[in-house]
Chain A
Amino acid sequence: MLVIQDLHVYYGAIRALDGISIEVKEGEIVTMIGANGAGKSTTMRTLSGLVRPRSGAVMFEGKALHLLPAHEIVALGISQSPEGRRVFANMSVRENLELGGYVHYKKKAQIAEDMDRAFTLFPRLKEREAQLAGTLSGGEQQMLAIGRALMSRPRLLLLDEPSLGLAPFLVQTIFQIIRDINKTGVTILLVEQNANQALRVAHRGYVLETGRVVLADTAANLLSNDEVRQAYLGE
């Protein structure tokens, strides 16, 4: 479904990605783990068209994403819940969700349906429907960011640190929700600091170090890999 080939990305003179190749197959949950600054968010931002690679390619079902503007990538069926949530603080929860369905603006019924689905997924959002997103708690904002990303009915969902700043029991809930979303047929690329949890939900994983993939394997193998256990699972 998604093939990333030898991606090199720079911020000015700073090299963030040094030749990354990753593949995501339809129906999978794939996770990227790695230390701070390894280039996980940069990979996600490149997939969504927010940064342009210096070289390399991103192919999604045969289309070259790295040549498309960001809004066309969303229209193709890829949406992202970005690192740090980035909700529209000065708009209500409802307006945020509506913007998530921006590409489907003509399908009023579909948007209403999807909004209901987001509210069933996160009942807390329903209670705060008319509240400004900036006044939500961190965890509620995270739910909003995920709910908003689902509104465009993505076939590939990019989640950048969805459990960041959440209370432990909420972390469990979020990972359960990720599983549920995946079961409805949405392919997921997941970036996580919480490597343990991420590897438990994912089918396969990639380990990134300073802009390179250093390990790629099934999630189960990575979980039992000694190096991974030492470096990322804190054992």
Chain B
Amino acid sequence: MQALVQTLIYGVETGAIYALIALGYTMVYGVLRLINFAHGDVYMIGAFVGFFACTQWLPFKDLSQHPEAAMLNVVLALVTLLLSMLICALLGITIERFAYRPLRNGFRNADAHFWGFVIALPVTAFAGAMTTTKRQGVFLFAGVVIGFIMRPVMAYLAKRIKPSGSRLNALITAIGVSLMLENGGINIFGADPKFIPDILPKRQFNLFGLVFDSSGLIILAIAAILMALLRYIVLYTRPGKAMRAISHDIDAAKLMGINTDRVISFTFALGASLAGAAGFMVAAFTNIKVVPLFGLQPGLKAFVAAVLGGAGNIPGATLGGLIMGVVESLVASKFPQWRDAVAFILLIVILLVRPAGLLGKNTAEKV
């Protein structure tokens, strides 16, 4: 009995993480009907930001030598949390701006500027790397100049690039962005596992004969706070209402004067920041190592959680995440080898039994 409750508690903790990630999937699906497969990789970036902040950027103290510095570390951990969220939000906005928006609206002059540099800089950097000269700055400078020259060329080409309403194109783009982040991560961070040392004092509480771990409680508390904040934003603020309007009917939302591009950007920022928070917390408060493929499994499982709760449905994503975590930890306690299969069995079952998801409804519109 006790072991069962313990397993459940562990499941809820894992589930809270899945829920945080699933919220991003479901919100983006809501506004764009797009499965943003790069979302799991945003979670990975959140973990890396956490790793660098904890080991290099911020003056965390080693608690085994300076036990009195606990308070400082708590403050720094909060800063790191916010930093992960912020950087991931910016990443989310960038992904939307340069990968999905041109697909939706066609290629604009502002895109031409960006892609001019994206093409010019790596080429000159590569040329610089091939030569033996010490004056690499010349190549960087040349890259910038060529980037500027590329602009009119790209702008000319831009007129030929038409928006694509195709779902398949968007999906392929999402997978492309995901691969880019994963392999870019391997290239930049290296494939070796990174580990965040204990930044907060670890305690265990015994209550009613159950053992509560301080790290698990921190994850739960922060996840709960973030979800409450999200709920407030979505239900009561102007961009939140605009988001709901877009999810329901994007053309009607435009007729209200809603700047849909800006709200979609906001949606990506919101979802990505939750994933960033989750990434940092898992990296810092569990014993999972940080690698560039860190987001692959949790990303897929959170995606299943979003479908389970009803794609596009925000409370559904939370529920789906929690169910996912609990079921997984129940199964794993008896049949550990089945742990990673649980998600896909759940996916198949839900698609067969209730494709709209637990809380999703197939509402009929009055005509």
Task: Give me the interface of A with B, judged by CB distance under 8 Å.
Answer: 45, 48-50, 69-71, 74-75, 79-80, 82, 84-91, 95, 98-100, 102-103, 105, 134, 138, 141, 148-149, 152, 165
Contacts and interface: CB of A to CB of B under 8 A. Distances in A.
Contacts of A165: 367
A49 B259 CA distance: 12
B366 A141 contact: yes
B255 A79 contact: yes
Nearest to B262: A71
B245 interface: yes
A75 B367 contact: no
B136 interface: no
A74 B252 contact: no
Top-10 shortest CB links A-B: A74-B257, A70-B254, A103-B257, A86-B252, A71-B259, A102-B256, A99-B256, A71-B257, A102-B257, A88-B248
A48 B245 CA distance: 17
Contact of B363 (A49, A75, A89, A103): A89
Contacts of B242: 99, 102
B171 interface: no
A5 B279 CA distance: 55
Interface string B240-252: 0110110011011
Given A71-B257, A74-B256, A99-B242, 5 more contacts: A49-B254, A69-B261, A85-B366, A141-B366, A148-B256
Contacts of A45: 251
B260 interface: yes
Given A134-B363, A138-B366, A86 B249 contact: yes
Contact of A88 (B249, B363, B366): B249
Contacts of B253: 99
B258 interface: yes
Given A71-B260, A105-B238, A134-B363, A86 B255 contact: yes
A102 B245 CA distance: 11
B192 interface: no
B68 interface: no
Interface residues of B, number: 22
A148 B252 CA distance: 11
Contacts of B260: 70-71
A90 B244 contact: yes
B255 A50 contact: yes
A74 B254 CA distance: 8
19 contacts: A50-B251, A69-B261, A71-B257, A71-B259, A74-B257, A79-B257, A82-B255, A86-B249, A86-B251, A86-B255, A87-B252, A88-B249, A90-B244, A99-B241, A99-B245, A99-B258, A102-B256, A134-B366, A152-B256
Contacts of B261: 69
A48 B255 contact: yes
A84 B255 contact: no
Contacts of A85: 366
A184 B134 CA distance: 75
B255 A95 contact: no
Contact of B252 (A82, A105, A134): A82
A112 B279 CA distance: 43
A99 B367 CA distance: 21
Nearest to A45: B251
Contacts of A69: 259, 261
Contacts of A79: 255, 257
A227 B363 CA distance: 43
A91 B366 contact: no
A80 B244 CA distance: 20
B238 A48 contact: no
A97 B20 CA distance: 32
Given A82-B251, A138-B366, A71 B258 contact: yes
B244 A88 contact: yes
Contacts of A105: 238
B108 to A, nearest CB: 11
B264 to A, nearest CB: 12
A102 B244 CA distance: 13
Contacts of B245: 88, 91, 99
